[in-house]
Amino acid sequence: MNFMKTSMLLAALTALFMALGFTIGGRGGVVIALLIAVGMNFFTYWNADKIVLRMHNAREVDTSSDFYHLVAKLAQRAQMPMPKVYLIDEPNPNAFATGRDPEHAAVAATTGLMNMLSRDEIAGVMAHELGHVQNRDTLIMTMVATIAGAISMLANFGLFFRDRNAGLAGLLAVFVAPFAAMIVQMAISRTREFGADRAGAEISGNPLALASALAKIAGPARQIPNHAAQRNPAAAQLYIVPTGISQMFSTHPATEDRIERLRQMADEGDFNGNAGLGREPKPSALDAIRRN
């Protein structure tokens, strides 16, 4: 059901992009818009992970790190290929996953998150990110962000170079298209977040740890500046919790709703805690950085 809904919304976003192309340049504009969409998605498919990690100045964690071993145990439990693991020197407590498929995936967490959460909570967060990889959300969400960003760029271009014969309807389309793209982007992202929460709870075996992590980081993530997201707002949809925006315009479901669903999973499900993850003390972000 989620796959069908996401496919329909992604198709709607692409159609919106082509319609905007028609408004600006007629039939020729549709062809150009289609070629641009294909080219962007091809480039994104091969390079999205590199772009996102470079945007955040992420540093790869080596095999001597406790953080690496925690992710490795989670990946083993999920029966997934081991992703690359990164740390970001950023006080905003957050995490994300990227990569075109499970064989070419990367997960990253900020030092702010590492310093704020317990080991169990960190495991819950990283299991959520592995859930995104498992569900192949990373490619979908990057494509969505690429097309939505292109619609905004094309709309700005259309203010000056649209087909004058389109009149008021064309001008209205130029203004409405970015908002429509934002709504579709929000709908897709919110659907994928609930799915990743469920997958993360199953991977970690501890829905309440993920719920506790969300409760701890949601407020600080909005209040503490996130420099990468400020430079590129499209990055906001990557994170486990929203950063710096109101719930009305958030690409994520309300944190309270996510926490409630996780609590229901804990009440109804058969989870075995952090089996196989150990009970080591909370890893220190500074210590993890020094080991690299």
**What pLDDT tens digit does each residue of the chain (292 aa) get?**
455 655 666 677 777 777 777 776 777 777 777 787 777 777 777 887 888 899 899 999 999 999 999 999 999 999 999 999 999 999 999 999 999 889 999 999 999 999 999 999 999 999 999 999 999 888 777 777 667 666 766 666 665 555 555 555 455 556 666 666 666 666 667 778 999 999 999 999 999 999 999 999 999 999 999 888 777 776 777 899 988 654 445 668 889 999 999 999 999 876 655 545 644 434 444 344 334 4
Distance from C-alpha of 58 to C-alpha of 60, rounded to nearest angstrom: 7
Which two structure tokens, joined as six digits, stand for 38?
């294909």
Two structure tokens written together for 242: 């929203």
Domain count, the chain: 1
Tally Cβ neighbours within 10 Å of residue 158: 23
The one catalytic residue in 90, 103, 121, 129 is 129
Which residue's structure tokens are 């192309």?
Answer: 21
**Burial of 279 (C-beta count, 10 Å sphere; 0-12/13-18/19+):** exposed
For residue 109, the 8-state DSSP code is E
List all residues 6 or more positions away from 274 whose beta carbon is below 8 Å from its beta carbon: 120, 123, 204, 205, 206, 209
- Scan for tokens 């069908």, then name that residue: 4
Sequence-distant (6+) residues with CB within 8 A of 126 are 70, 71, 74, 95, 107, 109
pTM of the model: 0.78
Domain that holds residue 122: 2-290
CA distance 128 to 192: 11
Amino acid at 282: K
The pLDDT value recorded for residue 288 is 42
- State yes or no: is 90 an active-site residue: no
The confidence score (pLDDT) of residue 1 equals 45
End-to-end Cα separation, the chain, in angstroms: 42
| φ, ψ (nearest 5 deg) of residue 162 | -70, 165
Give, in order, the Cα–Cα distances in Å from 41 to each of 37, 49, 169: 6, 13, 29
